[in-house]
Structure 1
Amino acid sequence: MTDDELTKMAEEELDAACAMPFVELKKITPWGDTFEGFAPSGRTVEVERRYLWAVEPEGGVIVEVEVRDPAARAGAEAKALLTEHR
């Protein structure tokens, strides 16, 4: 698995994590979860999503996604700041 693959997967997972309407994001923040997934190469990876307040609820929500390959000790992270007006 290449770091490019992890980076691309983190970016794709970030897009999915940011697809939720902002009003719904506010209801679940702060929150996070970790789950097992499969990279395009077929290897098992860990995917972690985190939803955090940006200073305070009115500042928006920081969405972070990290994709890790523990066996290779490699990982990639992608993040975005979402506001009510995106």
Structure 2
Amino acid sequence: MTGATGTPGDELTAMATEELNAACSLTWPELKRITPWGDSFEGFAPSGRTVEVERRYLWAVDPEGAIVVEVEVRDASARTGVEARAILHAPG
């Protein structure tokens, strides 16, 4: 993970990846229960700057029945942001 010495974009990318990993760690029954759903919250990047983190759980059109997990980390003051995305399939 990029710390305070990395570039701002690297830091946002690392945060988005970490948050996506956490978002995808739910079990399939948990994912199904909360989809469609999204939330956002204010957090702090490793450098200390304030960022907004948004998670979205959506039903995929293709492949049908899969769940799309999206995470966006934004620094509104710098007008920058990074998105990370995963498509999760039902087990079995």
- TM-score, normalising length from structure 2? 0.87
Task: Structure 2: state its 5+ residue gaps.
Answer: 1-6
| Regions of 4+ moved over 4 Å | none
Residues 65 and 90 in structure 2, CA contact (< 8 A), matched pair in contact too: no
Pick one of 20, 31, 35 that aligns with 1:29. 35
Show the counterpart of 1:50: 56
Retained in 2: the 8 A contact 1:47–1:65? yes
Larger radius of gyration: 2
User: 1:48-83, CA deviations, whole angstroms, 9 ceiling, x for partnerless residues?
Assistant: 000000118952100000000000000000000001
Q: Choose the corresponding residue for 2:20, options 14, 24, 27.
A: 14
Alignment: residue pair count: 86
CA RMSD after TM alignment:
1.8
Q: Deviations over 1:8-49 (max 9, x none)?
A: 100000000000001110011000001001000010100000
Q: Which has the higher contact order (CA 8 A, sep 6+)?
A: 1
Between structures 1 and 2, the one with greater helix share: 1
Which moves more between the two structures, 5-14 or 51-60?
A: 51-60
Q: Structure 1 regions of 5+ residues with no counterpart?
A: none
The CA distance in 2 between the partners of 1:60 and 1:27, in whole Å, is 13
Q: Does 1:65 align with 2:76?
A: no
Q: Return 32-41 or 51-60, whichever deviates more.
A: 51-60
